[in-house]
Amino acid sequence: MMTTVVRNSEFFLLWLLMLSSTFTLFFMFFPQAFLVKHKEVPPLAVPVGQQGKDDTQARCDLFTGKWVRELREPAYNSSTCLTLSELKNCERYGKDQDFLNWRWKPDDCDLHRFDPEEFLHIVNSKTMMFVGDSLSRNHMDSLLCLLSKVEKPINVYKDEEEKTYTWYFKSSNFTLKNIFSKFLVQGKERTINGTGTGVFDLQMDKTDIEWANKLDRTDYIVMSNDHWFFRKNYLHENGKLIGCTFCTETNLTEINLNTAIKKATRTALKFIRNNEKLKTLTLLRTFSPAHFEGGTWDNGGYCNRTRPLESEKRLNEIEWEIRKGQVEELERVRGEGGVKEFGLLDVTECMMVRADGHPGTHWNNVWMKGFSDCVHWCLPGAVDVWNDMLLQVMKRFSSFH
Ligand SMILES: *[C@@H]1O[C@H](CO)[C@@H](O)[C@H](O)[C@H]1NC(C)=O
Ligand SMILES: *[C@@H]1O[C@H](CO)[C@@H](O)[C@H](O)[C@H]1NC(C)=O
Ligand SMILES: *[C@@H]1O[C@H](CO)[C@@H](O)[C@H](O)[C@H]1NC(C)=O
Ligand SMILES: *[C@@H]1O[C@H](CO)[C@@H](O)[C@H](O)[C@H]1NC(C)=O
Ligand SMILES: *[C@@H]1O[C@H](CO)[C@@H](O)[C@H](O)[C@H]1NC(C)=O
């Protein structure tokens, strides 16, 4: 039992996150709720008819909208998706499945449900790589489950620490990879007497070679940068210490979290842009909010809501700022031109109200008894919408299908 638990790197990562109380510093610093105002988007004037519909679909802002109540069949379950992780299998651990009965409705159009056949058709003979932390893995796990309806993939590679996975879909010659990278840039944990401290030295101008060396023949990159920055980290540029996030030393420059995430995002995007051998579509997924209430990881925080948050959108200001920073970096790299394509999977707004979508205590937490996971997302669940969006966004880049 112990061996299986320890071998499960996701479990280990959760545990690491939990141990590091600095991870939650941020939640203590910014506990206030606030309202995010909706930008008023005028309706698009398009002719009625098929042509018009396609046009609306192609131009519609998929990321601004609301969740509407709708009874729907789950897209998959643990008997149809054999790769469903124990940590996200909320149904098995007693979560009421009514939280699945919500549909994301963009203000100006409808978002189609993920169509696995269409997706596999587009990615025929292509390779897609997910790069990021355990939330990136969460996203890929959802995609695997959605695709399993059509075809059971073959796991062709898994490293010892279960940080890199490769799946292969034979019928469409499609390769799907996941590469674990906490920061996208190089990060090395400080140790004391061989024990990790949860504090990292980050080289903000150097991409993490874990993924940077594996981009050969990659057509699609889905990249993200989330929660590992919510801790004390030492930041370096040109090999020189420039400061830290959540500093405790008074002789060092305090660098805000948003700046750190922006720098890492910029370095990663620039690396892809400057890699001459690559012809890729890179999609940057924006920040995925956590929903602890009444505390944090390690002091009784929970997330037991059974409905999405209503009208007012509860979100910490800094989470919205992080998203804004990511969007700016994406626009920056797009503005620099070049042959590579860059797009956005802007999930922050739709996820910020889904306080009901996390495993909470509904997971196999024997080992971490009593702790709530309010960071990752249940499968099936709200996170599946990331792939509804992924497919529609991919279709907008016509040179990639
Ligand atoms: C899973 O879905 C399949 C197909 O829709 C269905 O036959 C099966 O009963 C479901 N299993 C569970 C545990 O809900
Ligand atoms: C599978 O895709 C690769 C490119 O990823 C291509 O080189 C190869 O020829 C394809 N194989 C088949 C059988 O289509
Ligand atoms: C590291 O180990 C040495 C020798 O066992 C011990 O004297 C020292 O106190 C330890 N340092 C810390 C910070 O635990
Ligand atoms: C900051 O102070 C610590 C002692 O508190 C010292 O070890 C460190 O070298 C100092 N760093 C800089 C950049 O001056
Ligand atoms: C959620 O958990 C808190 C703390 O345990 C409890 O006070 C509250 O009643 C719970 N809410 C629901 C809807 O179960």
pLDDT in tens, the chain (401 residues): 333 333 344 544 554 454 444 444 433 333 332 233 333 333 333 333 334 445 667 789 999 999 999 999 999 998 899 888 888 999 998 999 999 999 999 999 999 999 999 999 999 999 999 999 999 999 999 999 999 999 999 988 888 777 889 999 999 999 999 999 999 999 999 999 999 999 999 999 999 999 999 998 899 999 999 899 999 999 999 999 999 999 999 999 999 999 999 999 999 999 999 998 888 999 999 999 999 999 887 788 999 999 999 755 556 688 889 999 999 999 999 999 888 899 999 999 999 999 999 999 988 877 677 789 999 999 999 999 999 999 999 999 977 65
Q: What is the pTM of this model?
A: 0.88
The whole-number pLDDT of residue 47 equals 30
Output the CA 268–ligand 2 centroid distance in Å: 27
Output the CA 25–ligand 1 centroid distance in Å: 41
For the CA of 294, the nearest ligand: 5
Output the CA 240–ligand 4 centroid distance in Å: 14
Amino acid type, 70: E
The whole-number pLDDT of residue 55 equals 61
The whole-number pLDDT of residue 159 equals 84
Number of neighbouring beta carbons within 10 Å of residue 185:
25
Output the CA 125–ligand 2 centroid distance in Å: 5
The whole-number pLDDT of residue 313 equals 54
CA 302 – CA 295 distance, rounded (Å): 7
By C-alpha distance, which of 246, 239, 254 is closest to 205? 239
295 touches ligand 5 (CB under 6 Å): no
- From atom 3 of ligand 1, which residue's Cα is the shortest distance away? 80
Give residue for tokens 């910029």.
266
Of 79, 146, 150, which is best to mutate to test ligand 1, by the most ligand atoms within 8 angstroms of its C-beta?
A: 79
Q: What are the residue numbers of the active site? A: 134, 373, 376
Contact status, residue 257 vs residue 245, Cβ threshold 8 Å: yes
Biggest CA-to-CA distance, the chain: 69
Q: Rounding to the nearest 10 degrees, give the CA dihedral for residues 259, 263, 269, 270.
A: 140
For the CA of 171, the nearest ligand: 2
Angle between helices 384-395 and 134-147 (to 10 degrees): 80
92 touches ligand 1 (CB under 6 Å): no
302 touches ligand 5 (CB under 6 Å): yes
Helix (H) or strand (E) holding 146: helix 134-147
Contact status, residue 188 vs residue 239, Cβ threshold 8 Å: no
Positions of E strands within 38-106: 65-69, 102-106
Output the CA 192–ligand 3 centroid distance in Å: 8
Of 72, 73, 77, 95, which is best to mutate to test ligand 1, by the most ligand atoms within 8 angstroms of its C-beta?
A: 77
Angle between helices 317-335 and 257-274 (to 10 degrees): 20
Atom nearest to 125 CA in ligand 2: 2
CA 198 to chain centre: 21
CA 368 – CA 250 distance, rounded (Å): 35
Of 251, 253, 254, which is best to mutate to test ligand 4, by the most ligand atoms within 8 angstroms of its C-beta?
A: 251
CA 391 – CA 232 distance, rounded (Å): 36
The class level of CATH for 41-400 reads alpha beta
Atom nearest to 175 CA in ligand 2: 5
How many Cα atoms are found within 13 Å in the side-chain-facing hemisphere of 140? Answer: 27
The whole-number pLDDT of residue 353 equals 92
- From atom 1 of ligand 3, which residue's Cα is the shortest distance away? 193
192 touches ligand 3 (CB under 6 Å): yes
